[in-house]
A and B are shown apart, each in its own frame.
Chain A
Amino acid sequence: MPDHDHVDDRIRRAWADLAPEDGTHPPLPATAWDRVAREVADEAAGPADPAASGTGLSAPGTDPGPPAADTTSLRRPPSGGRSVLLVAAVLLLVLAVTGGVAALGAIGSDDPTLAAEAALSSEGLTGAEPATGRAELLRVDERRVLDVSVPDVRAADGTVLEVWLIDPASDGLQSLGTIVDGDGPTRLPVPDAIDVARFSVVDVSVEPLDGDPSHSADSVVRGPLAPT
């Protein structure tokens, strides 16, 4: 991999010379894919590409038609991913409200009762190292607690791992506390005043010990609570 100094120099030089037209490009004609599809389909029939059979690419001389649904969805929307985020947030909220309010609000017995759980993952988090974890919302002695374990992540010196609940509809945040390194999960109280049907996403972030109580935006794992 090139050294960072060299790449950073390229970034500085390119940034200094950046022109407005560098970010705008003439669109490709709709039929331009045909030739690529033909060439690739021809090669796909050969032994060099065993994975290429049955790809759905157009035959020579034919219109490739609309791209597969998943590839169409991958095209960058003009406004970036914000609309996708909104849809995801609405879906999360709907799922939480329709499927989870009753379960999340249930009063359990003295024995710990699992009310909801979340599979935590670093997937989709910018800059996060690959990691997974788990969170369980329990009823213990009429109180709610969240057991959080992130075995793949350890807080670096000068930082702590902080657990948050996120309201995906408003991006509101509630801090539950910090994770204590250890073999088992960290148990954090969840005040009754927090509506977990609303604050339905568990987030774990790296927080520098700089006295700033707000979220660092440096999340390491995240996942939605799902009622059990």
Chain B
Amino acid sequence: MPALAHARAARGYGRPVLEGAHRRDVSREDATSLSDERDRRVEQLFASSPDGLHAAWSTYGDVIHGFCARLVGPDRAVDATQEVFIAAWRSRDRYDPQRGALVGWLMGIARNKVLGVLRSDGRRPTPADPATLTLPPSPDDVERLADRILLAHALDALPPRTRTAVQLSVMEGRTHQEVADVTGVPLGTVKSDIRRGLLRLRRAMEAGTDA
């Protein structure tokens, strides 16, 4: 334990166990920052050249492919995913990183593409796995699946501590103080975690609405 932590513990100011946990959490926060940095870098590269499109494909292609496969089936999902990225390239001037994450914007294009494919087939969306969507499928079902996949993608990038804090606050309606009491994390850190976590989740979800 560093000398400073010893001193704090001796004075009774600090929380030695939590301080140790916090130092590990700083590492997780940094790891998340690097994930953020990668996403921002892809977003900056995306519209600048086809290499940027390739970066987006490498980073988000599987997410878009997974969404398409759930709605049009695996046989047609690759074609749909390709068309999403081609359409994204053609309308790249419309992507504004200030309005949300690139993956959300791509998902908005994918949602429209899937609905178009299904309309052209003269049938309504039929989930590949009926258990994952409530029948009868509708454009709203497509949108909900898009939201769930985007949310899962964003949650995957959150540190466990941040995810827990956001879950307790957003899903269970607990106050910041209650979250701090439940988790044993300092109140200031809880506030910061919830703010950062919500910013990340909102950003992932926002851009798809105007794609």
Residue contacts A-B, CB under 8 angstroms, 22 given: A7-B205, A11-B202, A11-B205, A13-B147, A14-B151, A23-B155, A28-B81, A32-B82, A33-B57, A40-B53, A64-B54, A80-B32, A81-B33, A82-B27, A85-B30, A125-B33, A171-B23, A171-B24, A171-B27, A208-B187, A213-B13, A214-B186
| Interface 9-mer from A68-76, A110-118, A134-142, A147-155 | A68-76
A214→B189 contact, CB < 8 A: yes
Q: Is B182's beta carbon under 8 Å from chain A? A: no
B188, A208: Cβ atoms under 8 Å? Answer: yes
The segment from B59-67, B109-117, B118-126 found at the interface with A is B59-67
Report whether A36 and B188 are in contact in the complex, using a CB–CB cutoff of 8 Å: no
Cα separation A100 to B51 with both chains bound (whole Å): 38
A55 contacts B22, C-beta separation under 8 Å: no
Q: Which residues of B contact A (CB under 8 A)?
A: 2-4, 8, 13-15, 18-19, 22-38, 41-42, 45, 48-51, 53-55, 57-59, 61-63, 65-67, 69-70, 74, 77-78, 81-82, 85-86, 89-90, 99-100, 129, 132, 144-145, 147-153, 155-157, 167, 170-171, 186-189, 191-193, 195-196, 198-202, 205-206, 209
Identify whether the interface residues of B are mostly helix, strand, loop, or mixed: helix
Pick the contact of A80 from B3, B13, B35, B86 — CB < 8 Å? Answer: B35
B45 → A minimal CB distance (Å): 8
CA distance A82 to B28 in the complex (A): 7
Q: CA–CA, A218 to B147, complex, Å?
A: 28
Q: Are A27 and B62 in contact (CB under 8 A)?
A: yes
Give the contact stretch, choosing among A101-109, A172-180, A181-189.
A172-180
Q: Which of A56, A124, A172 contacts B23 (CB 8 A)?
A: A172
Q: Is the CB of B33 within 8 A of A124?
A: yes
* A85→B27 contact, CB < 8 A: yes
**Do B54 and A43 have beta carbons less than 8 Å apart?**
no
Q: Which residue of A lies closest to B63 (CB)?
A: A25
Q: Is the CB of B53 within 8 A of A7?
A: no
Please tell me if the beta carbons of A217 and B26 are within 8 angstroms of each other in the complex: yes
Given contacts A81-B34, A210-B187, contact A56 B41 (CB under 8 A): no
Q: Are B54 and A33 in contact (CB under 8 A)?
A: yes
Shortest Cβ gap from B211 to chain A (Å): 13
Q: Bound complex: CA of A141 vs CA of B194, how far in Å? A: 45
Q: Which residue of A lies closest to B2 (CB)?
A: A172
A79-93 interface code vs B (CB 8 A; 1 in, 0 out): 011101100100000
When chains A and B are docked, how far (Å) is the Cα of A85 from the Cα of B26? Answer: 11
